[in-house]
Amino acid sequence: MKVGARCEFVTSQSIDFAVQPAGVTAERCAREVVFVDSDQHVYGGALAVSQILKVSKMRILGTLIAAPVVLPAAEATYRWVARNRWRIPTREYCST
């Protein structure tokens, strides 16, 4: 799925990890969402969500999530959702 022309979502099963930037591993992708920007900077978890939002029409929300006073709560929320994703009704899309 593409967000405009600036972001493309791919499944970890379709990635050749041998050619990915350092920090992009199968284990990490199973644990959290990973975002690689056009400069090959790698972000994970809540910061990855922030970066995705920054390249979408929700740039302000992405900037807010990355703010130092908000990020700890965003990371805690992200970890809770990641641990409990199997409870979400769409679990068939969230299984690893």
Dihedral, CA of residue 96, residue 65, residue 80 and residue 18, to nearest 10: 30
Domain residues for 22? 2-94
Dihedral, CA of residue 44, residue 45, residue 49 and residue 52, to nearest 10: 20
- Split into its structural domains, the chain has a count of 1
**What's the pLDDT tens digit per position in 14-59?**
888 888 888 899 999 988 999 998 888 999 999 999 999 998 889 9
The model's confidence at residue 92, banded by pLDDT at 50, 70 and 90, is low
Question: How far, CA to CA in Å, does 85 sit from each of 33, 38, 69, 78?
Answer: 12, 29, 25, 10
pTM: 0.78
